[in-house]
Amino acid sequence: MNLKKLIEKRNALVDKLNEIVKKAEDETRAMNDDENKEFDQVTAEIRALDATIEKIRAAMSVNKSQEPEEPAVKKAEKNEERAFAAYIRGNLEECRAAGDMAKTDNGAVIPKTIAKKIIELVKDICPIYALATKFNVKGDLVFPKFDDSNGPTASYAEEFTALTSKSGTFSGITLKGYLVGALTKVSVSLINNTEFDLTAYVVNKIAEAVAEFLEKQLLVGTDGKMTGLASCTQNVTSAAATAITADGLIDLQMSVKQRFQSNCAWIMNTNTFKAIRKLKNSEGDYLMNRDLTNEFSWNLLGRPVYISDAMPDIAASAIPVFYGDYSGLYVKLAEDINVQVLKERYAEEHVVGVIAWTEIDSKIVEEQKIAKLTMKSA
């Protein structure tokens, strides 16, 4: 089971915990023996998953050389977490005692420690974001876009004869900051439970909401806002409107230049995956194979396969498959995240709304790294 699924399972269990408590609250009664037993079992499972997730992350970073953290740094991080939880609970006295949080017109700025955890979780949950080129800053970012469609040029030289340059042209691409809000609802009973890890719960929920939004935008995009992979210029059109062929997949793979192939991967949804999974070559061998060394367990024509529910099904004129090195997609997710607590708005639901505001944008800067398969029109 990969890290994304473990995190999703953990969050589902926390939701289940919330439902158990809310049912007793709604019926104005104490939890019965079965509910208490289930609550304890779910809590134990969450703690076990937390331990496993931490170990996986530790294993993933074992080769990274890091300076040992100073006790003062750890203390500052704990204080930031305390201040964040206290702010959500509305305990402003404890929030100030823990170091307070910078206030804005939209609420308060999430401490860097918490913001970084959110961004790291988004990377774990959203593989497309993890594979892209990432920037975690505010404000507009301008990048030179290099068009080398003609390729670099080298030739024999003669004295007194100038070389003709075909090495490409530059243009500018700007990553802006489109404001995005991620809403999380937290049960009042969980907020009032001092034993409950409120910070971890809210961080996970915000990361899930941002990751779900980000994945769809990075794939499909929105007119006038973020640019997704669907806007890439390298395109292969299928031979049929409702079926993908092995030849079409080979054409798609070969449309990306060889020098980028080592970091390429496929992206498709589950239904497309099932259809391609059944394709065979002339010798009766399946094109897609198990790869236990790859986190997602499958490869197609030698490259890993990523599955996303945000991708469309196979249909006339649809774009069901991407192939490429997704570092060609540049993404800005600002680390300065504001948080706003809404108590009155959701009072009838007996929950508190927590909105995280951040700036996000994406553009394809290196077009030659990415290609799409477009189904033939009907």
pTM of the model: 0.72
Residue 224's Cβ-side half-sphere holds a number of Cα atoms within 13 Å equal to: 0
pLDDT for the residue 364: 93
Say what angle helices 3-26 and 33-60 make with each other, to 10 degrees: 160
Locate 277 and state its tokens: 């999974």
133 and 329 in contact (C-beta within 8 Å)?
yes
pLDDT for the residue 163: 47
Distance CA 339, CA 356 (A): 4
229-329+366-374: CATH topology: hypothetical protein PF0899 fold (3.30.2320)
- Burial (CB count within 10 angstroms: exposed 0-12, middle 13-18, buried 19+), residue 165: exposed
For 202-227, write each residue's pLDDT tens digit.
889 889 999 999 999 999 999 989 99
pLDDT for the residue 44: 87
Q: How far is CA 108 from CA 79, 84, 366, in A?
A: 16, 9, 36
Answer left, alpha or beta for residue 86, where phi above 0 means left and psi between -120 and 50 means alpha: alpha
Locate 320 and state its tokens: 């069901």
| Domain range annotation of the chain | 1-57, 229-329+366-374
pLDDT for the residue 147: 56
Classify strands 141-147 and 169-175 as parallel, antiparallel or unpaired. Answer: antiparallel
Q: Which residues of the chain have pLDDT under 50?
A: 1, 163, 165-168
Nearest to 128 by CA among 377, 269, 307: 307
